A and B are shown apart, each in its own frame.
Chain A
């Protein structure tokens, strides 16, 4: 840095002036290559965050697209009643099962065939499609019908098990909703009460003790909360409501603990909003004879409502995206139920369980967790945007 300065001509300006200003001092802005390079590098670091977002959207989008365009095989519950020779194009079909129509792709063992025409009991097919080889098949092998995952089935189906061709995400979504709503039922009243207490009632000393405790709660890793849910909350619930009503893995326990987990977020954001309300408003209310409680609830809380609402929505987004507590305590296996004491797998819980083993890249499972991830990303993204908008749009400005 020192070199750069001394090597510049005007650094010796006094000498030049003394020499009778033979040379005019060059006052034009010089290009500073080093400075420009540094600025460029700093800019790149800033842009990396945009690249991260693009990366998330691109990868989730790409793999979800792979999920929705993927050829999956559904058991047609039909079988070949007689053996099939390699060259035969007439296919006899057993009774029952789902109907096979012209244009369908069917799979027998490893061979894929295209159905040209079909009646109930027979079909004309083109053998050896999609690079497979036409080979002989024995009698009684199962017939699979090819299909693609449709968006309608994805959002309205009630069973999720991609391995056997069921792609309804509803059970995962309802479980996520259940745990999040239970969490909000805990975090909302508690968090707001704590915020009101800290901002309106607590003395300086009490606040100095209480705030760090809440900070400790927010600093504990989520996996520890998961352990807490499984080894403390679940036995507690089972003790209160009975072993028969409450399953070992249940949504209530996970939801309650997520509520505790997001409590510090709700209380600290709400408290910030409450403290931002100017003193003059409170004093005016006191002057009119309001009690402390009336000032807090009828004056301060309404004035800070936008901040509080933003905190709630952000907390909701955290609850939806929370993973380890539900992975540990809410149970495994998708289950469409609204009973909080039953076990059900949430979106995040499912993603963790599926990716827990060595997941192979070309499996339907790999694509399916990205489709779930995309939905999760969209939900939390929308919630976050709403939260930011509320803060910006509805903030009451007092000055």
Chain B
């Protein structure tokens, strides 16, 4: 019966350990759940964000018309099926003579197509007006209650399921009425601005990256450049806006407004142009392009360079013919990511002076401008509910644009990783 003393001692040593074990495992499991929950919270927020946007971009609306389209029918033909001549007749008969004349001088009715005339009838004569809107999921789940409420509050209004984002939304310019507003000017403004940004930032950024990786020796000025680039990447974007305002808009006004080249009328032009905006954004994304470019160049194996030098190539020949082509996919990926950051930037452009309201297409680098994010900002800031709806629609356009860009970047990244 006598126990082995060793065994006895061993048990007494492991006993507290073993007793403690369930509690420790319990804590471990609890915390593991907590960590998992935090990750899920992130996903839930992303879902909520997207849900919120989709929810506002579609939904039921109470639409009130000034003139019932049925009364405009001629000889039993509804306006949808009328010919252009009949539609122009309606316009002539229902509009004030002055308004009709103005439309005629803007573009003669002879030159307008049937569809344009139809749009004019709907816009000017029928004049649908959105009284109230309901979000998508309410519209789907509580359709009957909403219809009942609508019938009570707006007896004349018609219930209509509206999609705030449609083809027309993309091609119509800005308007002071939510139902008629579109993002055409904003999209064009964004494209112009981003084109200038890339034209400036890409070559300069890549050249700086080449300098830092291939040429720069380890001396004080190059160390300063490196630290400085890292610091610039952390400067808030609105500060770049102030820089753009002080330098491009104010100090270089003659260049950025186009008066120095005779492109603009000196009496009315100012420096708040697409060119200023593009240059400001170029400075903003330059550090990002340089840092990504440096990383891409660093992945090119040294053996490639040495082989090139061994064949008698000069430094620049080596860089141009061997290093750059191998690093290009990486550089392009970085540039596209920087570009998608520039497209979404709002604050610096507000400071540089985006126009609050323009409905004319930007015609060149010296035009006044607005961009998609600025349009979203302005619409969101308005108190009327309909503007929230079109802001959501504009956000969807912006997100699709960014998604397309990022998909390209990922494809490039995958292609390059396959080859190397």
A binding-site residues for B, Cβ under 8 Å: 1, 4-5, 32, 34-35, 38-39, 41-43, 45-50, 52-53, 55-56, 59-60, 62-63, 189-190, 193-194, 196-198, 201-202, 210, 213-214, 216-217, 219-228, 230-232, 260, 263, 267, 289, 291-294, 297, 314, 317-318, 320-324, 327-328, 348, 351-352, 355-359, 361, 369-370, 373, 376-377, 380-381, 383-385, 387-388
Contact = CB atoms under 8 A, between A and B. Distances in A.
Contact-residue bracket for chain B? 35 or more
28 contacts: A1-B317, A32-B314, A35-B314, A39-B316, A42-B211, A43-B215, A45-B211, A49-B228, A50-B224, A53-B231, A59-B242, A193-B35, A197-B38, A213-B42, A213-B43, A216-B46, A221-B402, A223-B344, A223-B376, A224-B344, A224-B399, A227-B392, A228-B53, A314-B234, A320-B236, A323-B347, A328-B380, A370-B242
Nearest to B38: A193
B49 A220 contact: yes
Interface stretch (B114-122, B179-187, B256-264, B350-358): B350-358
Interface string B42-62: 110110110011001000000
B27 interface: yes
A230 B380 contact: yes
Nearest to B345: A221
B91 interface: no
B402 A45 contact: no
B245 A198 contact: no
B207 interface: yes
A52 B286 contact: yes
Contacts of B227: 388
B373 A223 contact: yes
Nearest to A57: B243
A34 B344 CA distance: 40
Given A43-B215, A224-B49, A224-B376, A214 B42 contact: yes
Contacts of B398: 221, 224
Given A227-B391, A227-B395, A52 B283 contact: yes
Given A4-B314, A217-B46, 9 more contacts: A42-B210, A46-B216, A50-B225, A196-B35, A197-B35, A197-B39, A228-B52, A291-B27, A356-B356
A325 to B, nearest CB: 10
B31 interface: yes
Nearest to B48: A232
B315 interface: yes
A222 B49 contact: no
Given A43-B211, A47-B225, A289-B17, A376 B350 contact: no
Those 4 A-B pairs whose CB atoms lie nearest each other, nearest first: A321-B236, A221-B344, A193-B38, A293-B28
